[in-house]
Homo-oligomer: A and B are copies of this chain.
Amino acid sequence: MTDRTGTRRGFLRRLGAAAGASAVYDAMRTLGHAAESDFTRVPPLAKPDGRTSVAVLGAGLAGLVASYELSRAGYDVTVLEYQARIGGRNITLRGGDRLVEMGSPAQDVHFAPGNYFNPGPWRIPYHHAGLLHYCATLGVALEPFVETNYNSLLHSAAHFGGRPQRYRDVAVDYAGYTAELLTKAINTQALETGLSRDERRDVLQALRLTGALDPSGQYHASDAMALTRGYAKEPGAGENGAPVPSRPLPRGELMASGLWQAIAFHQTYEMQTTMFQPAGGMDMISRAFIPHVGHLVRLKSQVAAIRQDEHGVSVDYTRLEDGTRATLHADFCICALPLPILDQLSCQVSSELKAAIGGIAYHSSVKIGLEFRRRFWEQDDAIYGGISFTDQTISQISYPSHGYLSRGPGVLLGGYMFGESAMYLAGMTPAERIALARKEGAAIHPQYDKEFSNGVSIAWSRVPWTLGCCSNWSDQARQTHYRNLVRMDRRVVLAGEHASYVGCWQEGAVLSALNAVTQVNARAHGGQHA
């Protein structure tokens, strides 16, 4: 197949024109259809007979959920956590925080009071019922995360002269042109569509309405189109208040631009509205666990080895405060450490589980938070939350879904990358990443130059306590390793987003923790398996 440029590389570049949407979309396809949740209720745990202790490794969301449920049920729980904070990848950066990557200069965050940036998870699909259960139970206030914003921008350097287009125009024009084409195909009857007469009539009606077509089935500037596409001159009041309809983008350029990838992106199950975020920052969730399990957590405790025999589990760890070694003994162990960390420990488990721990790749991802002196995206461009996509390296810009119309500085997500782009940026210093995000972002928002204040960047592959963003299951790995990874290994069972089919989402961590405590509970009551 020969394309316009005559090269496969050119073809791929064109296919990936709106690389922002497409890269994330592709990433999702590789995440084992990471999506929603089979949570219905917290599994009932029976009070253990006598003292039964559980060592939980890692105070990320999986470790927090596991220790919360086990301690509620009467288990004796101790949590070992490497960091000086709980939450793991459930993290929010605010002014005064310090972010440390391996081999990068430490970054001090300079955001204004009240501003924040979620470098890890930042949104919660409505169907992540397990996570929502804990938000409701622990009183975490949720607010909508604006995922689809018709006034956000889609940008391809190679199309429309590099001018960003409104999502509205792309979505409405795409619906209109394809409806027009199909209407023509049906009307000419030159084609065996396989539609009955009734269905033909129904489809034509639907196309006319959803495509904003005129009565003859054409998509062109008209009052009907203006109902969806808006106006060149907006309606107003006074004698000159009459509006003028806008004109559609040229069909060929629209189709060649690839900007329609954003439509598919927003329609994926994981991205469909209603989407949530915790008010005040994602770490409001992990913070809400503190009153319940905070006293069980030993911070600054670096696990070195996990040993087990028929009587129990021993976890050797280093107290980072003073470098002393200690051992935690327990009847069972729930290990909620990220696999790249776990893979480096001495771990007394089956060879199958060892192979699984070492056999699952991790995504790299980079996020960049930029603070500007004012919310120019709202004040100048009427963009309130949502995401703009670009085929530049930064892939996307996302605007805060809170504090709308407020004065003073605001923080946006100035870049969010997976895959090759993330690898590329992870090789830079944080300052270089921020400089890149500023340069590329200015192609979409010229106000960047004047309004920039400060920024922070995270390359998850360089974060010492995860060494990656999240699990990247291939179909092959799923087939070979999944059952071995999630099955209890004598007295040790794994938890974390990697130990689920909802990889890379907090929901996976929650569900895996519930699975782990169920298995521990069954074993504590004499069952060989859950």
**Given the contacts A168-B269, A172-B267, A36 and B235 also touching, CB distance less than 8 Å:** yes
A126 within 8 A of partner (CB) = yes
What is the bound-complex CA distance between A184 and B181, given in angstroms? 12
CB distance from A388 to the nearest CB of B (A): 13
- Which of B33, B190, B386 contacts A273 (CB under 8 A)? B386
A72 within 8 A of partner (CB) = no
What is the bound-complex CA distance between A151 and B223, given in angstroms? 31
Q: Is the beta-carbon distance between A385 and B243 smaller than 8 angstroms?
A: no
- Which of B233, B239, B487, B518 contacts A483 (CB under 8 A)? B239
A295 within 8 A of partner (CB) = no
Q: Is the beta-carbon distance between A178 and B207 smaller than 8 angstroms?
A: yes
Q: Is the beta-carbon distance between B234 and A38 smaller than 8 angstroms?
A: yes
What is the bound-complex CA distance between A241 and B182, given in angstroms? 40
- Which of B15, B236, B256 contacts A501 (CB under 8 A)? B236
CB distance from A9 to the nearest CB of B (A): 16
CB distance from A137 to the nearest CB of B (A): 9
Which of chain B's residues have a CB closer than 8 A to the CB of A229?
A: 269
CB distance from A475 to the nearest CB of B (A): 10
Q: Count the copies.
A: 2
Q: Which of A112-120, A139-147, A350-358, A457-465 contacts B (4 or more CB under 8 A)?
A: A139-147
A467 within 8 A of partner (CB) = no
Q: Which of A192-200, A308-316, A424-432, A436-444 contacts B (4 or more CB under 8 A)?
A: A192-200
Q: Is the beta-carbon distance between B210 and A252 smaller than 8 angstroms?
A: no
Q: Is the beta-carbon distance between A184 and B178 smaller than 8 angstroms?
A: no
Q: Is the beta-carbon distance between B132 and A209 smaller than 8 angstroms?
A: no
CB distance from A406 to the nearest CB of B (A): 8
Q: Is the beta-carbon distance between A150 and B273 smaller than 8 angstroms?
A: yes
A349 within 8 A of partner (CB) = no
What is the bound-complex CA distance between A39 and B144, given in angstroms? 27
Closest residue on chain B to residue A203 by CB atoms = B255
Q: Is the beta-carbon distance between B36 and A230 smaller than 8 angstroms?
A: yes
Contact with B along A18-56 (1 / 0, CB 8 A): 000000010011001111111100000000000000000
Which of chain B's residues have a CB closer than 8 A to the CB of A382?
A: 126-127, 129
Q: Is the beta-carbon distance between A33 and B235 smaller than 8 angstroms?
A: yes
**Given the contacts A144-B146, A207-B178, A274-B146, A227 and B268 also touching, CB distance less than 8 Å:** yes
What is the bound-complex CA distance between A192 and B188, given in angstroms? 9
Which of chain B's residues have a CB closer than 8 A to the CB of A228?
A: 264, 267-269
Q: Is the beta-carbon distance between B500 and A235 smaller than 8 angstroms?
A: yes
**Given the contacts A243-B501, A511-B236, A512-B237, A175 and B267 also touching, CB distance less than 8 Å:** yes
Which of chain B's residues have a CB closer than 8 A to the CB of A274?
A: 146, 149-151, 384-386
CB distance from A424 to the nearest CB of B (A): 25
What is the bound-complex CA distance between A385 and B143, given in angstroms? 11
A205 within 8 A of partner (CB) = yes
- Which of B29, B202, B226, B483 contacts A33 (CB under 8 A)? B226
Closest residue on chain B to residue A37 by CB atoms = B234
A508 within 8 A of partner (CB) = yes
Which of chain B's residues have a CB closer than 8 A to the CB of A186?
A: 181, 185
**Given the contacts A199-B252, A267-B210, A269-B227, A239 and B35 also touching, CB distance less than 8 Å:** no
Closest residue on chain B to residue A11 by CB atoms = B201
Q: Is the beta-carbon distance between A38 and B236 smaller than 8 angstroms?
A: yes
A84 within 8 A of partner (CB) = no
A residues 209-239 touching B (CB-CB < 8 Å)? 209-210, 212, 223, 226-231, 233-239
CB distance from A38 to the nearest CB of B (A): 4
Closest residue on chain B to residue A251 by CB atoms = B199
Q: Is the beta-carbon distance between A33 and B501 smaller than 8 angstroms?
A: no
Which of chain B's residues have a CB closer than 8 A to the CB of A132?
A: 405
Query: Can you list 20 A-B pairs with a CB-CB distance of less than 8 A?
Result: A3-B198, A32-B235, A35-B227, A35-B230, A35-B243, A38-B234, A127-B234, A136-B407, A144-B146, A146-B273, A149-B274, A150-B274, A171-B267, A172-B267, A174-B206, A205-B258, A206-B255, A236-B515, A237-B500, A242-B501
Nearest 4 Cβ contacts at the A-B interface: A235-B501, A38-B236, A185-B185, A150-B272
